[in-house]
Copies of this chain bind each other. A is one copy, B any other.
Amino acid sequence: MAAKFASRRNLSFLLYEVFDAASLSRYPYFSSHNRRAFDLVVDSAFSMAKNLMWPVLKEMDENPPELSQGVVKVHPSVVQIMKECGNGGWISASFPEDHGGDQLPLTLSNAARFLFAAANYSLSVYADLSTGAAHLLLSFGRKELQEMFVPKILEGKWQGTMALTEPQAGSSLSDIITTATPQGDGTYRIQGHKIFISAGDHSGVENVVHLMLARIEGAPAGVKGISLFAVPKKRVEKGGKLTGNDITVTQVYHKLGYRGTPLTELAIGEKGDCHGYLVGQENRGLSCMFQMMNEARLEVGLGATGIATAAYYAALDYAQKRPQGRKIGQKDMTLPQITIIEHADVKRMLLFQKAVVEGSLSLLMQCSMYSDLAMVTQGEEKEKYSLLLDLLTPIAKTYPSESGVLSVSAGIQCLGGYGFCDDFPLEQYYRDIRIHPIHEGTTGIQAMDLLGRKVVMKEGRASALFFAEVNAAIAAAGKFPELAEKASRLSDAMERLQKVTMHLIGVAQESGPEAYLADATLYLHFFGLVVMGWQWLVQALAVQKAMAERPGERENDFYRGKMLTAEYFFSYELPAHLGLAARLMEKNPVTLNMRPEFFVD
């Protein structure tokens, strides 16, 4: 197995040379940190990833959780990781100090998350879910609820989850029917079914706290009648004793990949004895839950980037070692074979992977910086960062997921037949990463979020802010002749995107929302390419600055690799927007004309 799953060098490049994360410590909230503290965080995350998570990657895949006598048995590493994450303060790292946290910038805790996901995605999910659940309770829960649940979650002793999906509703949250009946004592009795709940129950913790959506009796139909509840697996009696809370695991799904985390089906309150506690206001559950969902969407992006990164290094390692064939045109067959990394097509596949994983990580660090800045700034500045984060979240979830799937597939291809066999980890990564375009809102859902909501919200203010950021990068690139071509390509693509957007708004006015959103997924991909072009230009800018300082030979190779990867992106990937734009500028509503009965044959 390849020894490398992520690059320390590239992470430092992004954190300090591209985004200047150290500058966050000038804000009072982050002032107890500095670059040295950040480095320690990254070192320590790397070491945990390498020593605890990476070694059990395959073992966890081969021994997935099983439901046996009502208990979901998970790999022993889960106990260990929850303990480490609790003791090491990883679950609460970015929380305020007065809630037991370290006030670490999200940029840094997300860098750690990326490393954990690269080492072992399944194992990294448990703590992430707990962080999201605890954050939700701290943001919207009453003090008693916080006191009852949060400390145990942060210690890693109890698992937090998000419990949204139901069998009859799937992505359509407005159709959830789990009910909550008020008892007059401030508690509710919950009854219903949830499916696909990650870590919804397992043997690695003493208790599980579900942040669960349900409908209070008599609530209005649709999303305006959904409330949020904390629903523990075992409830806390007076005196602190834990009692079963009438939640049964009815199934653990057998799945393609991501096998180290149990995906559970839950029957809730079958005996009428499941107590739930309202979080936030009645019927306002979805807007609370969106905090957790948006965090989770960035985490999905990080997870996909992590897996694709590990796959890239596995493919690179193989390509560097495997001799096969000779340079094209070399007729002397008595010469030894060359390593396959010398073949142009293999380099192309490696460049594709490098472009995807480093571009994705760059975007995720960018979004994390926006999130940190939104928290510590005020007024217009705060609004700016919030809007940029809102706009970019569907892309930061989708581009790494969709391109990550293709990237891992290219990794398999580099290994040929060996990529298909489990002697190498590529086949597992290929299975693991396929969940990402699905969970936390499918790509189709993200596309409607982007085009149906984010692009048009506040009269297009978020888009305008985004284009201003891109233009700022283009302007900065003007100082470097080596960047002129890249800047001009990005500018062309961005203008085309703006034209397409205007065209689609015309479609909405002419033909209504269904026609407007029919090709939202293509629009999302187009937008994603422009965003990636921006991130590659931003990285190329940092490279130009660094190279002006005349770095040493090895560093020089690193920077030249970066520049050529940027070139690869602008030359091979960005042009795909031309095909998307061609379709999006058409008016023929092919998918709307395709009636269900025409699929007959």
Residues of A participating in the B interface, judged by any CB pair closer than 8 Å: 7, 9-10, 165, 168-172, 174-175, 195-196, 221-223, 253-258, 263, 316, 320, 322-329, 333-334, 337, 339, 341-348, 350-351, 354, 405, 409, 412-413, 416-417, 419-423, 427, 430-431, 434-435, 437-439, 442-444, 447-448, 452, 512-514, 517-522, 554, 557-558, 560-561, 564, 567-568, 571-572, 575-580, 582-583, 586, 588, 590-594, 596-601
Contacts and interface: CB of A to CB of B under 8 A. Distances in A.
Given A438-B416, A438-B417, A567-B588, A557 B422 contact: no
A498 to B, nearest CB: 19
A313 to B, nearest CB: 9
A434 B420 contact: yes
A599 B256 CA distance: 31
A455 to B, nearest CB: 15
Contacts of A324: 169-172, 175
Contacts of A172: 324-326, 337
A276 to B, nearest CB: 23
Chain A binding site: helix, strand, loop or mixed by DSSP?
helix
A338 B170 CA distance: 13
Contacts of A578: 575, 578-579, 582
Contacts of A409: 405, 434
Nearest to A598: B561
A448 B9 CA distance: 36
Task: Say how many copies of this protein the assembly contains.
Answer: 2
A333 B599 contact: no
B514 A345 contact: no
B588 A568 contact: no
Nearest to A405: B409
B443 A420 contact: no
B593 A519 contact: no
Nearest to A9: B601
B601 A558 contact: yes
Contacts of A221: 333-334
Contact of A328 (B341, B513, B580, B598): B513
A561 B329 contact: no
A254 B567 CA distance: 38
Contact of A600 (B334, B350, B561): B561
B437 A413 contact: yes
Contacts of A195: 417
Contacts of A435: 420
Contacts of A599: 316, 320, 341, 350, 354, 561
8 contacts: A9-B601, A170-B322, A171-B416, A175-B325, A327-B514, A344-B591, A420-B434, A420-B435
Top-4 shortest CB links A-B:
A222-B333, A561-B598, A575-B579, A221-B333
Among A222, A350, A591, max chain B CB count under 10 A is at: A591
Contacts of A347: 591, 594, 596
Contacts of A597: 557
Contacts of A328: 448, 452, 513-514, 517
A492 to B, nearest CB: 11
A317 to B, nearest CB: 10
A427 B255 contact: yes
A434 B324 CA distance: 22
A583 B596 contact: no
A263 B416 CA distance: 14
Contacts of A320: 596, 599
Given A417-B438, A447-B345, A514-B344, A583 B600 contact: no
Given A558-B600, A575-B580, 13 more contacts: A169-B324, A196-B417, A222-B333, A253-B423, A254-B423, A255-B422, A345-B447, A430-B434, A522-B572, A568-B590, A576-B579, A578-B578, A579-B579
Contacts of A255: 420-422, 427
Contacts of A344: 514, 517-519, 591-592
B175 A337 contact: yes
Contacts of A571: 583, 586, 588, 590
A334 to B, nearest CB: 5
A593 B422 CA distance: 33
Given A344-B518, A520-B345, A593 B564 contact: yes
A596 B339 contact: yes
Contacts of A430: 256, 434
Contact of A583 (B342, B575, B583): B575
